[in-house]
Amino acid sequence: MGDFTAALETCHQGLQEAARWDNAALAARLWLCRAQVCLKLGLIQTAWEALEQARTQVAALNKRNPVLSEVYVTQGDLWLALGDYAAALADFRAGLEVAQELHSSTEALYRLGWALVLSGQSQGGLNFLRRAIELTRTAEVTHVALAAEMALAEAHYTLGNLEEAQRIAHQAADEAAQRKMGYLLLRYPTLPIANRREICCSAMRACSSNRLRRTNPCYLKPWGWDWHCKPLRRVRSKTLSSSASQRSATNCFTTWPPIICVSVSNSASSSG
């Protein structure tokens, strides 16, 4: 709903309870949620640290845990935001390998397809995207299906198939509006969707009570409203605790969120 301040506070309170009860499974889930929220806010370093905590908690369980797949997928989203497609592909593949149910596996699968398209393996990427859509439509996992369809549209747009991109994007956008999932369009600012402003304005009205404009102004950029990118600037003075390079870090400032981002792919490609 866009209330990221409340989400972070809930995570903090939950982590205190998880520590009090020594519940590693709950702690892993909450650290993952914190990482996902921080990533949406552009707090790359904080998101990475939360992911490390989630992995530590999962390891403490000494058994395969469903959170592990989501940790890999979120880590892949982070690498994709930084333009490191090879690292993103590795994590999406790892997330797919350890996934234990349809939701986690298809979240990893469609992201893997999109990352393959960005890395130049277009045919394999399109095949994975279509497979993810087929599986989620059959199982009626609508929010993942729509996200995968928008990713497929963005893939066609990136490859220059503008007519096909528009067809898929308009169809998915119309369904998202009907199901009141207009927030999905926030992740695809470059797609040529005729009724984008109407759908996005509807999503903004739905989220206004949750202070979306104040807590995450980065989302306002695609529609020409006044905005600022203070959350993103915090990354400039940070260095990831792993092997992320300063060159990659500069690629995440042109457009946010990271999952579907043509400008990131273009800048990454041009930088070699």
For residue 54, the domain's CATH number is: 1.25.40.10
The reported pLDDT for the residue numbered 3 is 74
Residues ≥6 apart with Cβ < 8 Å to 163: none
- Res 92 pLDDT > 90: yes
Residue 20 has pLDDT above 70, yes or no: yes
> Is 216 part of a structural domain of the chain?
yes
The number of folded domains in the chain is: 1
Q: Is residue 168 part of a domain?
A: yes
**Residue 41 DSSP label:** T
Q: 193 or 159: whose pLDDT is higher?
A: 159
24 is a domain residue:
yes
Q: Which residue has the tokens 């995207």?
A: 129
* 91 in Cβ contact with 72 (< 8 Å): yes
Tokens of residue 63, six digits: 């058994």
On the question of pLDDT at 54 being above 80, the answer is: yes
State how far the Cα of 112 lies from the Cα of 132, in Å rounded to an integer: 10
* 37 pLDDT more than 60: yes
Query: What pLDDT, on a 0 to 100 scale, did the predictor assign at position 192?
Result: 59
Domain annotation covers residue 58? yes
Closest CA to 122 of 156, 85, 84: 156
Q: Is residue 246 part of a domain?
A: no
pLDDT band at 266 (very low <50, low <70, confident <90, very high): very low
Percentage, residues of the chain above pLDDT 90: 52
Give domain status of residue 20, yes or no. yes
pTM: 0.73
**CA dihedral over 201, 159, 265, 35, signed as positive or negative:** positive
Domain span at residue 180 reads 4-234+252-271
Its sign, for the CA torsion 172, 109, 46, 264, is negative
- 120-131 confidence digits (pLDDT tens): 999 999 999 999
In this prediction, residues 51-73 reach a mean pLDDT of: 89
